[in-house]
Amino acid sequence: MTFNLAEMNERIQRESAFVSKIKSEMAKVIVGQEQMIERMLIGLLCNGHILLEGVPGLAKSLAVSTLAKIIQVNFRRIQFTPDLLPADLVGTMIYNQKTGTFETKRGPIFSNIILADEINRSPAKVQSALLEAMQERQVTIGETSHPLDDPFMVLATQNPIEQEGTYPLPEAQVDRFMLKVIVDYPQKDEELDIVKRMARNAAIPAVNPVITAEDIRRARQTVDDIYIDEKIHKYIVDLVFATRDPKAVNLADIADLIQYGASPRASIFLAMAGKAQAFIAGRGYVTPEDIRTIIWDVMRHRIILTFEAEAEEVTVEEIIRRIIETVAVP
């Protein structure tokens, strides 16, 4: 099968027109935070889940609920608390006295976009119920398995401060999130804009629906068809292998700082996210720059540092930066 780049670019230009519409609708409500919005779109296009980390008040919840309105899908916000039970999430069997039978009562997880607020405030059994649903895309209530809606995307938030009384997500479960996005404070001019627009009692501006779930499914097929060269595949594998064996790429000085490197999921998600990044840019092929842009969010929760790294106050971001600078770009 020969790849026609001009034809593909034309198809991408046509199919990705909704990206700018989504961004302009989001801008009615959210000031700045372009990176977070772009990463949410990548998660949607790749059928992946996202972990958002940032202090309270950075419009994480507002961004997720606004996105759900724009793409006309169901949205549920679940506040994770220490007393939450798995049944509160997935649902349970309830006895109907009139009929003398048990009936299934579905939980809030039966929705398209789920905001799992402060996921690290709930015990492990609730976290694993959610993460199992994310992985299997179905939940079992009683003896019956129920498939979840499509699209189905979980955006989980966690607070980097106030770590007392939290249940940190185990590394194996964090690995199921396609991206971990650090949500930062707005710039000074953005904050000025926020104050002017939001410091009032009026309702939040309404957004218009731009696309449907069917459009998302069609866009996913287009993303799959985006061309990724053999050299880019090799570049992705080289970057991931550098986290496992830094000495092989002349990074012996960071070898003792990495306890565990990234898993093969990192390679898969880097390739998928690279394609989605190209789609958002309106391009029919993936460039090394696409990979370098998205690698931070794919890798930051997959590299486990040693105690020595923590003692020296070396961050995962510094390790990723060294790897990007060292691995040869095709």
Q: Could you read off the pLDDT of 264-320 as tens digits, one per residue?
A: 999 999 999 999 999 998 888 899 999 999 999 999 989 888 898 888 888 888 889
Q: Which DSSP symbol is given to 248? A: G
Most distant CA atoms of the chain, gap in Å:
72
Give CA–CA dist 16/221, Å, rounded: 12
Average pLDDT over residues 89-101: 86
What DSSP letter does each residue of 240-285 carry, written as one string? Answer: HHHHH-GGGGT-HHHHTTEEE---HHHHHHHHHHHHHHHHHTT-SB
Give CA–CA dist 84/226, Å, rounded: 42
- What phi and psi, each to the nearest 5 degrees, are found at residue 42? -65, -45
| Residue 226 scores a pLDDT above 80 | yes
**pLDDT band, residue 164 (cuts 50/70/90):** low
- What phi and psi, each to the nearest 5 degrees, are found at residue 129? -65, -40
Instruction: Give per-residue pLDDT as tens, 103-153.
Output: 888 889 998 899 998 888 888 888 888 888 888 888 888 788 888 888 899
pLDDT of residue 1: 45
**pLDDT band, residue 43 (cuts 50/70/90):** very high
Q: Tokens representing 61? A: 């919840």
pLDDT of residue 161: 67
If you average pLDDT over each of 38-47, 60-69, 244-253, which comes out highest?
38-47
Hey, what domains does the chain have and what are their CATH numbers? 33-189 (3.40.50.300), 221-326 (1.10.8.80)
Give CA–CA dist 301/282, Å, rounded: 28
**Average pLDDT for the chain:** 86
Q: Tokens representing 42? A: 């990548």
Give CA–CA dist 222/7, Å, rounded: 12
Whole-number percent of the chain with pLDDT over 70: 98
Contacts of 229 (CB under 8 A, 6+ apart): 285, 286, 330
Give CA–CA dist 145/104, Å, rounded: 11
The structure tokens 């923590």 sit at 310
Contacts of 191 (CB under 8 A, 6+ apart): 185
| Residue 330 scores a pLDDT above 50 | yes
Contact 134, 180 (CB under 8 A): no
Contacts of 221 (CB under 8 A, 6+ apart): none
Average pLDDT over residues 185-205: 80
pLDDT of residue 95: 85
pLDDT of residue 56: 81
Q: pTM for the whole thing?
A: 0.88
| Residue 213 scores a pLDDT above 60 | yes
pLDDT of residue 165: 64
CA dist 101 → 82, 87, 97, 193 (Å): 32, 19, 7, 57
